[in-house]
Amino acid sequence: MPLPFLTAERDDDLATAKAPATAAPLPREDPAPDPYTDLYEDRRRRRRPYRPGPLRVGGAALLLLLASQVLVAAVIIGLAGALPGAGICLAVASLLVALAWRSVRSGVWVDENGLRQVGLLSGTSLPWSAVGSVRIVQQPVRRMGVLGRVQGQALVVHRADGRPLPVLVTDHGADFLGRPQAFAAAADATEEWVAELRAAAARG
């Protein structure tokens, strides 16, 4: 007595054997571009040739934490009916957030149009035609940018007329304190990016 499920399985095997073989689809030669990589490599966007250091990021995080506590205090004071005090707390929290934002963005930024040096309270933008050189200089620098001066290295940007911009990137700054190798790599990358973008601007 034939078993129906065995007969059905044999029929399926015969159908598969008679069916023409089909080739597997070829992998895509051009994978989909990574939007984050393309965004970073876009020369029209202003970029920093190095990452902010752990001390700078940690300081900004502490400022944001303090700002959150001040905002909580502003809410409590506002609910208690003391609106002027709540307004003062809100203003202080906004100032702390702004300081954290400016602190993280401090440094040297480049794009296809020129170089921008961003400080805590001010910034300077130069087109590539006004940038003379970017190089490492041995000179006294401030520890963490505010404390006493020590002998160290600084990444100095000179204008085309020879005048230097205020020094922001040093081996004793918030980005590279205790990290001499990271400072050397960042300085080399900055010099390389500046040379490449200046050459591209001169050709264009």
Structure confidence by residue, pLDDT tens digits, 15-68? 444 444 444 443 444 455 455 444 445 556 788 889 899 999 999 999 999 999
- Tokens in use for 129? 């035609």
Note whether 61 and 115 are same-domain residues. no
Note whether 147 and 185 are same-domain residues. yes
Note whether 93 and 165 are same-domain residues. no
What is the identity of the amino acid at 139? Q
Note whether 118 and 92 are same-domain residues. no
Note whether 183 and 150 are same-domain residues. yes
The tens digit of pLDDT for each residue in 117-127 reads 998 888 899 99
Any alpha helices (H) in 80-179, and if so which ranges?
83-105
The tens digit of pLDDT for each residue in 169-202 reads 999 999 999 899 999 999 999 999 998 888 888 8
Band (pLDDT 50/70/90 cuts) for residue 2 is low
Final residue in a domain of this structure, among 69, 104, 139: 104
Note whether 97 and 118 are same-domain residues. no
**Residue 99, domain member (yes or no):** yes
Note whether 100 and 120 are same-domain residues. no
**What whole-number distance in Å separates Cα of residue 193 and Cα of residue 134?**
10
Note whether 115 and 195 are same-domain residues. yes
**Residue 32, domain member (yes or no):** no
Using DSSP, how many helices (H) and how many strands (E) does the chain show? 5, 6
Note whether 71 and 117 are same-domain residues. no
Final residue in a domain of this structure, among 104, 119, 144: 104
What is the identity of the amino acid at 171? D
**Residue 12, domain member (yes or no):** no
Cβ-based burial of 54 (10 A; exposed 0-12, middle 13-18, buried ≥19): middle
Q: What is the mean pLDDT of the chain?
A: 81
Final residue in a domain of this structure, among 64, 84, 104: 104
Q: How much of the chain exceeds pLDDT 90, in percent?
A: 49
Note whether 170 and 118 are same-domain residues. yes
pLDDT at 88 over 90: yes
Domain count, the chain: 2
User: What pTM, to 2 d.p., does this model score?
Assistant: 0.71
Note whether 135 and 98 are same-domain residues. no
Note whether 117 and 194 are same-domain residues. yes
Residue 170 belongs to domain spanning: 110-203
Cβ-based burial of 121 (10 A; exposed 0-12, middle 13-18, buried ≥19): exposed
Q: What is the mean pLDDT of residues 77-99?
A: 93
